[in-house]
A and B are shown apart, each in its own frame.
Chain A
């Protein structure tokens, strides 16, 4: 079964450092997402990406965050200057090309990248 792959599985960084989390979505998917889950809290939507641009972002996704699809296969989340409160599990998800006309499709999530900011 096709899967979404995320690397690294765990990263520890110092506050103020830049971090790049990588995701390889399912190959024929066109819509990509990042979600995050702070320990003990809800999974939260960060950003969605389609056709090489952000289609929607949450208020969490401020200027320190950016996403790109540099080479047609990887989908990355960059956090420019990490803060303690960025410590969380970050989930990548992708969605197939055939959207149900009435709206929501099904997301396939990766196993997550745990980010610890010290």
Chain B
């Protein structure tokens, strides 16, 4: 069965600093990988996705993620964090044929001004 690990429960960065949120997955075949963001009181908003092709994917709000098969990772990055990026970030893996996503436990991002 597939699984997702987000090793960092909380991360604090200063506004303007770079950000990297870690995600490792376990899945036997080529995974479909997603990053979602959840702001307080809001639903899960899709930031970006990887299905195939270019391993560096660009998303909304200036985020990007890189799929590294050799490391089973799909880390999320942003070169310069804004205070409005404070939220909870979820990595998820989906299997072919459906959207039964398996989520990680999430990383809570705090941005210091």
Contacts from A to B (Cβ < 8 Å): 4, 6, 31, 33, 35, 41-45, 48, 55-56, 58, 91, 93, 95, 100, 102-112
Where chain B touches its partner, the secondary structure class is loop
Are the CB atoms of A42 and B99 closer together than 8 Å?
no
Are the CB atoms of A103 and B96 closer together than 8 Å?
yes
Given contacts A43-B90, A100-B51, contact A105 B43 (CB under 8 A): no
Given contacts A43-B90, A45-B101, A56-B100, contact A103 B32 (CB under 8 A): yes
Most A CB within 10 A of own CB, among B44, B90, B92, B99: B99
Are the CB atoms of A111 and B41 closer together than 8 Å?
yes
Give the residues from 69 to 101 in chain B that come closer than 8 angstroms, CB to CB, to chain A. 90, 92, 94-101
Where chain A touches its partner, the secondary structure class is strand
Are the CB atoms of B103 and A102 closer together than 8 Å?
no
Are the CB atoms of A104 and B41 closer together than 8 Å?
no
A100 to B51, CA, bound (A): 10
Are the CB atoms of B44 and A104 closer together than 8 Å?
no
Question: With contacts A6-B43, A43-B92, A103-B32 known, what are 8 further pairs, Cβ within 8 A?
Answer: A43-B103, A45-B101, A95-B99, A100-B51, A102-B96, A103-B97, A104-B96, A109-B45
Contact of B43 among A95, A104, A109 (CB under 8 A): A109
A109 to B43, CA, bound (A): 6
Given contacts A103-B32, A104-B51, contact A43 B44 (CB under 8 A): yes
Q: Show 29 residue pairs from A and B whose CB-CB distance is below 8 angstroms, ordered by the A residue.
A: A4-B43, A31-B99, A35-B101, A42-B105, A42-B106, A43-B106, A45-B100, A48-B98, A48-B99, A55-B98, A56-B98, A56-B100, A91-B43, A95-B99, A102-B51, A103-B94, A103-B97, A104-B32, A104-B95, A104-B97, A104-B98, A104-B99, A105-B99, A107-B101, A109-B43, A109-B44, A111-B41, A111-B43, A112-B43
Query: What residues of chain A lie closer than 8 Å to B99, measured between beta carbons?
Result: 31, 33, 48, 93, 95, 104-105, 107
A110 to B46, CA, bound (A): 11
Query: What residues of chain B lie closer than 8 Å to A55, measured between beta carbons?
Result: 98
